[in-house]
Structure 1
Amino acid sequence: MNIFEKLGQVLPLVESPARYMGGEANSVVKDPSKLLARMAFVFPDLYEIGLSNNGLRVLYHVVNRDPELLMEVAFAPWDDMAEQMRKNDIPLYTHATWTPVREFDVVGMSLQTELNFTNVPYVLELAGIAAFSKDRKEEDPLVIAGGPAMANPEPVADFFDAFNIGDGEEMLPHILRTVGECKKRGMSRLEILEEIAKIDGVYVPAFRKVIPGEFGMFVPAEPAKGSYEHTNGVRRIYVPELKKEDYPVKNLIANMRLVHNRYSVEVMRGCTQGCRFCQAGIWYRPCRELPPDDVMDLAKAGLKATGENELGLLSLSTADYKPIEALTDSIIDDAFFDNVDVSLPSIRVSSFGQSLAEKVAALKGGRSGTFAPETGSERLRKMINKTITDEDMYNAAEHAFSSGFNKIKLYTMVGFPTENDEDMEAFCGLIENLVKIGRKYLRGAQISVSMGILIPKSFTALQWAGFMDKDLALAHVQFVHRRFFKHPNVKVTWADWETSRLEAFYSRGDRSISKLIYEAYKRGMIFESDNHRIRPKDWEVLWKDFGYDESWIYETRKKESVFPWDFMHVGVTKAYLWNEYQKGFNPEVFKDAKPVPNCKWGECQHCGIPGNGKEVRLADNPEKYKAPSRTPEEIKKLVAARRPVYDKRYTYKLTFQKLGLSRFLPHQNMLSAFVRTFSKAGIPLRYSEGFSPKPRIINMGALPLGLETVCEILGAETLVLLDLSPENKSKLIEELSAPFPMGMKILDIEPIDYKLSSHFPTSVTYSYQPKEIPADLMQKFIDKKLPIVQNHRGQEIDLNEHICNLKIANGKIFIRVKCNNQGGTASPYPLFGGLMGMENVNSAAALDDASRQFLIRKEEMQFNS
């Protein structure tokens, strides 16, 4: 039995089977015999998190556009699915072809957070691959990693054969081609690693010696020296410019709701504000912007290809994108975006003027703004070079609330060196003043405060600082919380200190902690990025069991300290970062220190990135989509004038099938798939009236999960007449079926002039093909001696009353089951369970679980004429 067939057996037994179905629309499938190299890209977190990740989408696109390379995706299964996989000998598999991950040439991972580290050995062992690279055999795939958490790869270095350090658009295809060429020439595993180690930006841990250093941690024997161009270290690679052709349009269409259901365009990469705590501001230098005309082209093509109705304009600080106002003017000017919710995450308050606020309000479906002042104390903001003032915050709040926003979200931190109660008092004062501004415009205006705890990260000016101890960190959190406890306009939340400590342990750790990570995984401490899964007491036990002293987390480092990550040259030099640390936290220097300006606008700070500012690529205003700047009143008039008026509605009956693993698509996900496909096809649906309008899609009751069907019926009310002429109907059916998962498609569309909701079937025919049909089954039916069974609710079902007809043909059992007055039948699972002699199962739940493993198909619905 292959993986596909085994999944049909186990998916009825797990939560959210849509996570594991595979067969996503827009999947790339290629003939393996024509490929140079194949890669399984394993995202070490849940499906709904991984498939939301824009980096995964970009890499999937840049690899698969090469006809000789292939990338398929896989995700970390939740505990219940992992248990079934182990029990039924199902290795971790890819979603496009249900191929074992271990059969690929390369297994890749993107680590977005250090809290995914214990999931690394978890997914490798589920794939049947040794967790530690030293234990892998010659025929095993090479295991490589990349992603933002690889700003310090040392804690997981023993698990990986190699790392992609930096941007992957050009490097990853290069690595795959090299692996493919080497395997073609019959080179050994060691020889292949030697070849890929020659690629700029590739780190092979086995080839870099480590020695004991400060606090007994392993550090590089040869730290990176020299300039970025002439270093002995591993260089972080960055693409010199953002190119339209490197961005995907036909993203994989998920089988369930994701963390972010939107089509995203990365408008800018890199931020040079110079915040001294910010790792991303160093890791993604220099600043590169995508031209707004390209943003518009990608957005329109991507929204059409995926059927999404939300557009995300992504960057570390979208309001700092040079042509942001001109781009919003272009979006407003284009009728295509009238029904699209456009979001601009990460808005810097000093860039958020009245004009942009009004335009964001016009674009957004929601009415909340997100700002990151990091702290409410101007003293601390100067120290960390967060170059915004309280006045900037008040102006931004004024602009937001006066433009119709009802909430401001503040992302802040505690835990900065020298932080004290006076800083917390200033923090509370800032919040109180923001409330006053909000209440001028709306009595219920909300200020939502989220407090993190500073984790001094690698390649930041604060990498020399220690992590704040628990008592002081929580005292500062509680200072703010007490002030606003039960305040009607303020909600305060904060990060868990133990989780932050664990992240500090991971992000600042060395190669020696891989054995602790592996042991944590073996003790079930996985999915630690989920707040509900963190087990700090178990970590205390684990550290004690290993005799490990984690107190180095709190220690301040010296100038000459060598860090585990010092084998890398990221562009910004260690000397520059030390100088920044001194400016912020040496009182003598700090007295006269001025804020470090944003070099994006021309004043090079000589941080070490080569080019003296020439490497910065800023975008000009749009030309192809050039549009006038409008006032809010003009925008409202414009949108109202071009809003189409529909004076008719049209009702259609769609007959569709769900075969194979698509039978595990839950009811609500299936309805969402129909809404998406009409949107993708540009066919407007009629919506209900009222406070929360819903699309007018009527289904003949929810289909039991795991049941195949070839006769399912759905009604849809459209605002336009569909062309169902013979030459166009099949084309329309094919277009509407395109975004569905494999196995699900529309079979017919026909107009109706009656309410589908009042036209219920009187009976339904189901079929099942068992290995062996009970010899006395037909006689029992004729004699009305079929058993009484229980459904999953414990209700008794007399099969003699429910089954109107029974037929045996071609090794299949066909039963016609009567419907209730709402067109529903008893679940066919316990019905066939009873027919197969399972009526003596004591537990109703056990009966339901066992019978759900039958492959039952809904064959036909009978209606009164």
Structure 2
Amino acid sequence: MTDLWPRLEPLLASAERPARYLNHEFGCVYKPEADFRFCMMYPDTYELGQANQALRILVNVVNAVDGMVAERAFLPAAEFCDTMRAEGLPLFSIESCAPVAEFDAIGITLSHELVATNVLEALDLAGIPLHAQDRGEDDLFVIGGGPCSYNPEPYAPFFDIFNIGEGEEALPECLQAIRRLRAEGACRADILRAIARMDGFYVPSLYRWRDEEQAQQAGSWIEPVEEGLPTHIQKRVFEGFAESPGWEPCIVPFTEVVQDRLNVEVLRGCARGCRFCQAGMMYRPVRERSADNIVNSVVCGLAQTGYDEVSLTSLSSTDHSQIADVLTRLNKQFQGKGVRISVPSQRLDSFGVDMAGLVAGQKKGGLTFAPEAGTQRLRDVINKQVTEDDLFGAVDAAFGAGWRRCKLYFMIGLPTETDDDIKGIASLVQRAYDRAKKAVPVEQRGNIRMSVSCALFVPKA
């Protein structure tokens, strides 16, 4: 592998944040003896990508395989991309500062639609042919995954392979197949055929589009170009999630990143079934780690990283069947030690407020609740199983227990929405604010703050 550090180092003085491009962070893995090299790339800046849990998980599972190494790469800031192009410096990995194009495979997580152009920028900066059909026998394999891979066709011309679903088991299997087949002398086309026959993988070059009439008859817009390939791609599910340890090695960055804390995933999937929620559909079925697993993971993770804050992450952490036990034990474990525990998602009821109280202790900042729609009719349409009484009960409990700030999340542009639904948001917020004022002593009512966020509904295919 080419070492680009001698060419990179003189350019760092002109970079906006040089720490984005430095290696040897605490927790990095180096395996120079590995004969198969994989690069996991997040198509955005280091501050956003390094905080991504999927990147950490997938780097760890590949590094756990003998003879294989996973390194990380991020899209440089726009100003540094210009500098690199002017100097003829290609996109590089963090750990070994090697050209991404020299790896055997690259994985790109498609976390949201707006990274699409970033993916093309990264491939171009790396010197990798943009279109899969233009890549030759000596080029690396470009693998896509993440939420947007569930609707892969907009990205299909640029990827060799899509991992549909969860990658803890699927990604190592894919890379091991590439490694083995290359060692056996297989050509690129035969390797792609082998991957296409594996569960949870879509190889766009081996499928073609049907016309509208054929698609309606078959129930699918695509069909394989040869026999033996699956006509429908089933997502991969990591069945061993519940038994897997919540703590896994993580990198402590040199520079500040978003959500700069220890993250322990307590629950995967969501039983709520809100129709607008892409993640709630993608990560089914619901699986949860045990209370012992979570507590031990938090204790171990904080000790090994030096963080003083931990987030118990999931789509709905307060829906964990043992969340009260977990929070009680963690509060007892870290009492007086300056450790902050956060739960990023709260149920919109008094139980959610009780759990927030276990987290906050005496430090009551703000609470966030998500009614999503202003009227019960529209909440029923989107299957948001929350009533006005739930919201008012949560507000009464929160402000009665000492909270003075609250944020309410809504969406606009939902299917079947009318002007009355929009007006309902203002009405609901006003009534919630009135309930909050009644729940606190008269002399404290001037301290009450209730903010409202209205996001646009974005349909997901």
> 1:19: which partner in 2?
20
> 1:434: which partner in 2?
432
Deviation at 1:95, TM superposition (A): 0.6
> 1:206: which partner in 2?
205
Q: TM-score, normalised by structure 2?
A: 0.92
> 1:568: which partner in 2?
none
1:141 aligns with 2:102: no
8 Å CA contact 2:72, 2:95 repeated in 1: yes
How well do the aligned residues superpose, as a CA RMSD in angstroms?
Answer: 2.1
1:275 aligns with 2:289: no
The amino acid of 2:24's aligned partner reads: G
C-alpha deviations, 1:374-429, integer Å up to 9, x for none?
11211100111111101101111122222222222222101122222222222112
> 2:448: which partner in 1?
445
The amino acid of 2:268's aligned partner reads: R
Q: In the aligned structure 2, how far is the partner of 1:79 from the partner of 1:356?
A: 42
* Gap change, CA 1:247 and 1:318, over 3 Å in 2: closer
Three-state SS of the structure 1 residue aligned to 2:292 is helix
Q: In the aligned structure 1, how far is the partner of 2:190 from the partner of 2:390?
A: 57
> 1:455: which partner in 2?
458
8 Å CA contact 2:40, 2:70 repeated in 1: yes
Q: In the aligned structure 2, how far is the partner of 1:333 from the partner of 1:135?
A: 59
1:5 aligns with 2:27: no
* Gap change, CA 1:450 and 1:316, over 3 Å in 2: same
Point out the more displaced range, 402-411 or 284-293. 402-411
Three-state SS of the structure 2 residue aligned to 1:49 is helix
Q: In the aligned structure 1, how far is the partner of 2:450 from the partner of 2:324?
A: 26
8 Å CA contact 2:411, 2:457 repeated in 1: yes
Q: In the aligned structure 1, how far is the partner of 2:64 from the partner of 2:460?
A: 35
Deviation at 1:243, TM superposition (A): 4.4
Q: In the aligned structure 2, how far is the partner of 1:46 from the partner of 1:337?
A: 36
Three-state SS of the structure 2 residue aligned to 1:447 is strand
Q: In the aligned structure 2, how far is the partner of 1:347 from the partner of 1:153?
A: 32
Three-state SS of the structure 1 residue aligned to 2:130 is coil
> 1:398: which partner in 2?
396
> 2:405: which partner in 1?
407
Q: Greater relative contact order: 1 or 2 (C-alpha under 8 angstroms, separation 6 or more)?
A: 1
Give identity over the alignment, percent.
38
8 Å CA contact 1:57, 1:248 repeated in 2: no
8 Å CA contact 1:249, 1:305 repeated in 2: no
C-alpha deviations, 1:245-277, integer Å up to 9, x for none?
454533111121001111011111111212122
8 Å CA contact 2:268, 2:287 repeated in 1: yes
Three-state SS of the structure 1 residue aligned to 2:168 is coil
Three-state SS of the structure 1 residue aligned to 2:361 is helix
1:299 aligns with 2:302: no
Q: In the aligned structure 2, how far is the partner of 1:285 from the partner of 1:361?
A: 30
Q: In the aligned structure 1, how far is the partner of 2:423 from the partner of 2:86?
A: 56
8 Å CA contact 1:242, 1:288 repeated in 2: yes
8 Å CA contact 2:246, 2:294 repeated in 1: no
Q: In the aligned structure 1, how far is the partner of 2:389 from the partner of 2:412?
A: 21
> 2:385: which partner in 1?
387
* Gap change, CA 1:379 and 1:317, over 3 Å in 2: same
> 1:326: which partner in 2?
325
The amino acid of 1:293's aligned partner reads: D
8 Å CA contact 2:366, 2:407 repeated in 1: yes
Deviation at 1:232, TM superposition (A): 3.6
Three-state SS of the structure 1 residue aligned to 2:406 is strand
> 1:85: which partner in 2?
84
8 Å CA contact 1:249, 1:301 repeated in 2: no
8 Å CA contact 2:242, 2:287 repeated in 1: no
Q: In the aligned structure 2, how far is the partner of 1:240 from the partner of 1:388?
A: 30
The amino acid of 1:22's aligned partner reads: N
Deviation at 1:452, TM superposition (A): 1.1
Q: In the aligned structure 2, how far is the partner of 1:244 from the partner of 1:341?
A: 26
8 Å CA contact 2:241, 2:289 repeated in 1: yes
8 Å CA contact 1:242, 1:290 repeated in 2: yes
Three-state SS of the structure 2 residue aligned to 1:238 is coil
8 Å CA contact 1:361, 1:404 repeated in 2: no
Q: In the aligned structure 2, how far is the partner of 1:262 from the partner of 1:51?
A: 11
* Gap change, CA 1:29 and 1:244, over 3 Å in 2: farther
Q: In the aligned structure 2, how far is the partner of 1:453 from the partner of 1:307?
A: 38
* Gap change, CA 1:6 and 1:373, over 3 Å in 2: same
| Structure 2: gaps of 5 or more residues | 225-229
8 Å CA contact 1:62, 1:246 repeated in 2: no
Q: In the aligned structure 2, how far is the partner of 1:61 from the partner of 1:301?
A: 17
The amino acid of 1:66's aligned partner reads: V
Matches of residues 120-269 of structure 1 in structure 2 within 5 Å? 120-213=119-212, 220-222=221-223, 232-243=231-242, 245=244, 247-269=246-268
Q: TM-score, normalised by structure 1?
A: 0.50
C-alpha deviations, 1:458-485, integer Å up to 9, x for none?
2xxxxxxxxxxxxxxxxxxxxxxxxxxx
Matches of residues 343-362 of structure 1 in structure 2 within 5 Å? 343-350=342-349, 352-353=351-352, 355-362=354-361
Q: In the aligned structure 1, how far is the partner of 2:272 from the partner of 2:99?
A: 45
Matches of residues 847-862 of structure 1 in structure 2 within 5 Å? none
Q: In the aligned structure 2, how far is the partner of 1:43 from the partner of 1:137?
A: 24
1:373 aligns with 2:362: no
Q: In the aligned structure 1, how far is the partner of 2:333 from the partner of 2:353?
A: 22
* Gap change, CA 1:388 and 1:204, over 3 Å in 2: same
* Gap change, CA 1:426 and 1:39, over 3 Å in 2: same
Q: In the aligned structure 2, how far is the partner of 1:350 from the partner of 1:296?
A: 25
Matches of residues 30-41 of structure 1 in structure 2 within 5 Å? 30-32=31-33, 34-35=34-35, 37-41=36-40
Q: In the aligned structure 2, how far is the partner of 1:95 from the partner of 1:282?
A: 34
Deviation at 1:291, TM superposition (A): 0.7
Q: In the aligned structure 2, how far is the partner of 1:18 from the partner of 1:47?
A: 9
Q: In the aligned structure 2, how far is the partner of 1:24 from the partner of 1:110?
A: 22
* Gap change, CA 1:337 and 1:411, over 3 Å in 2: farther
Matches of residues 541-580 of structure 1 in structure 2 within 5 Å? none
The amino acid of 2:142's aligned partner reads: V
Deviation at 1:22, TM superposition (A): 2.4
Matches of residues 489-568 of structure 1 in structure 2 within 5 Å? none
* Gap change, CA 1:250 and 1:241, over 3 Å in 2: closer
8 Å CA contact 1:182, 1:192 repeated in 2: yes
8 Å CA contact 2:163, 2:201 repeated in 1: yes
Q: In the aligned structure 2, how far is the partner of 1:68 from the partner of 1:327?
A: 38
* Gap change, CA 1:175 and 1:455, over 3 Å in 2: same
Q: In the aligned structure 2, how far is the partner of 1:371 from the partner of 1:244?
A: 31
Q: In the aligned structure 2, how far is the partner of 1:247 from the partner of 1:174?
A: 22
C-alpha deviations, 1:362-382, integer Å up to 9, x for none?
28x551112211112111001
Three-state SS of the structure 2 residue aligned to 1:209 is strand
8 Å CA contact 1:361, 1:403 repeated in 2: no
Q: In the aligned structure 1, how far is the partner of 2:96 from the partner of 2:389?
A: 56
* Gap change, CA 1:95 and 1:337, over 3 Å in 2: farther
Deviation at 1:167, TM superposition (A): 0.6
The amino acid of 2:365's aligned partner reads: R
Q: In the aligned structure 2, how far is the partner of 1:71 from the partner of 1:337?
A: 39
| Structure 1: gaps of 5 or more residues | 224-230, 459-865
8 Å CA contact 1:40, 1:72 repeated in 2: yes
Three-state SS of the structure 1 residue aligned to 2:193 is helix
Q: In the aligned structure 2, how far is the partner of 1:245 from the partner of 1:379?
A: 41
Q: In the aligned structure 1, how far is the partner of 2:69 from the partner of 2:41?
A: 14
Deviation at 1:144, TM superposition (A): 0.3
Decide which structure has the larger Cα Rg and report it: 1
Q: In the aligned structure 1, how far is the partner of 2:349 from the partner of 2:69?
A: 44
Deviation at 1:353, TM superposition (A): 4.7
8 Å CA contact 1:413, 1:453 repeated in 2: yes
